[in-house]
Structure 1
Amino acid sequence: MAPSHAATGLLAGVLATAAVAPFMAVGPMELAAGAAIGAGAALLPDIDHPNSTATGSQGPLTRLLSAGARRFSAWVYHATLTRADTVADGEHRYLWHTPAAALATGVAVGAAGAASPWALGAVLWFTVTLALRGLAQALPRGRTRARLMNRAGTSLAGLAAAVLLVASGASPGPYVGAVLALGMVVHSLGDALTRSAVPLAWPFRVRGRRWAMVGTPRRLRFATGSRPELVIRWACLAAAPLAWLALA
């Protein structure tokens, strides 16, 4: 679902940037930043899967991050489960697929970005590279897609974008943290539409279960890669540039 998550995050980032217009100057640069951060952040929750786009995005660095994310998720799962919860490994689609984790990550990123331009630049670099890799997967297989998925190329593009955004002041730390949290939440909401669902209510209990898998009614859920997912993906990809043009 990587390209679909990136597409929904792209649209969410554009709309969120427009929503903060009363509190900060919003122009084409800010909308571009919001789109990139939202698209990249919408892939972050899958850092808890060893074969995800996020895990493979920066080679050994993100594989190590993924291993740590899975262990921490499993630890939190086992530390907070109730007797009513289903026994599981607590890794993929657990802690990092909760709004609570998204909010905590956003606050931490926002604070770090406000305190250090280096931290802000690192976050921007990582989210932009993720956005490029995620959105590229919506393209048909071929040379263009392969070039856009190239790790060195996306890393350099992400670095250039991060330097530009930090230098321009278009992406202050709290704003980056807020859009990043939103992108992660959008990911979880997207997974809630699928058959597996996600623990959206954690740490609150649902019928005694703290890790209850919450989603749309079962008859409305769909399998990943099915036609409903493709409709959502392309609708978001079409709506994002239209929203950008209307707001710029």
Structure 2
Amino acid sequence: MLGKTHVAFGALFWAGGAPLVGDQLGMSVGPTGMIGGLAIAAVASVLPDIDHPNALVTKGYIPGSGAFGWPARLLGQIISVPPRIVGMLARSVMGHRGGTHSIVFMLLWTFGALPVYALFAGLVAWLASGLLSVTPLGFDPGVVWEWEKENLPAFMPLVMLAVFLGYLSHLVSDSLNQVPVPWFWPAKKKLFFLPKPFRIQVSSPGEWLVRMLVVLLLIVVAFGTIVRPVYEGLRDEASGRTSADVPALVQGPPPALR
């Protein structure tokens, strides 16, 4: 499948799966978490293709980044560094659709993505502090480390779930087309999900149709799991502020004016 199709699948898996899986795990994913997890799952949905030199994730692509110009492109290049390193190592020992398209790598990224990026953020902060030390804008990387130490434990379940669902969506969607997926790597058995006449050819009209159907389904599902809860939360918050203001408005003038 093409990268855009994977992103659509990743977003759908998150929008539809996060509330269900979160409930089963005893984890409440609120509206803010749903929005943040959507972005993480979309990026994770292209992670298995790090074994390909032209993969979106190794090019620094961030879904929707075109609207934000060069800052988003720069952020994409920074975020792509860890997958790019892993991808070069993967390509040196296996071809495309090798071990990165497996349950083993899915679990490795699920449990390893947040620690890897936390360490990477600390290293970036350390390098930035070295560059800024010669300017009046001196920067202390210890601030980053302290923030991570205090906040990452709260983020970890959400990030792990988003990476898991995004990564899983890639394996499922790739299993719908003409090349089998080695789900159980390093075992040699590979899987198709569809009979041969119904398998989807990459870059074909069939893939375009599937992508459109997934996007339409995503819009419907996201309305129920993301858009509506966000709207209701904002409405309840506004209603709470209004009700709190009512007594002060109906009590009449202060005693000194009576």
Q: Same fold (TM over 0.5)?
A: yes
How big is the shift at 1:46? 1.1
Q: Which secondary structure does the structure 2 equivalent of 1:25 belong to?
A: coil
**Match among 16, 21, 24 for residue 27 of structure 2:** 24
Question: What's the counterpart of residue 50 of structure 1?
Answer: 53
Question: What's the counterpart of residue 99 of structure 2?
Answer: 95
How big is the shift at 1:238? 1.6
**Match among 182, 188, 201 for residue 199 of structure 1:** 182
* Kept in 1: contact 2:14–2:162 (CA 8 A): yes
What is the identity percentage for the equivalent residue pairs of Structure 1 and Structure 2? Answer: 25
Greater Cα radius of gyration, structure 1 or 2: 2
What stretches of structure 1 move > 6 A for 4+ residues in a row? none
Q: Deviations over 1:171-199 (max 9, x none)?
A: 72122112202211211221111111211
Matches within 5 A, 1:60-209: 62=80, 65-66=83-84, 68-72=86-90, 74-75=92-93, 90-109=94-113, 112=115, 119=118, 172-204=155-187
Q: In structure 2, do the counterparts of structure 1 residues 36 and 61 end up closer, same or farther at CA, with 3 Å as the change threshold?
A: closer
TM-score normalized by the length of structure 1: 0.62
Question: What's the counterpart of residue 211 of structure 2?
Answer: 233
Structure 1 residue ranges without an equivalent (≥5): 76-89, 123-166, 205-209
Query: RMSD of the TM alignment (CA)?
Result: 3.2
Q: In structure 2, do the counterparts of structure 1 residues 63 and 200 end up closer, same or farther at CA, with 3 Å as the change threshold?
A: same
Structure 2 residue ranges without an equivalent (≥5): 61-75, 122-149, 230-258
* Kept in 1: contact 2:99–2:186 (CA 8 A): no
* Kept in 1: contact 2:40–2:159 (CA 8 A): yes
How big is the shift at 1:108? 1.7
2:191 matched to 1:214? Answer: yes
2:223 matched to 1:245? Answer: yes
Distance in 2 between the 1:168 and 1:234 partners? 38
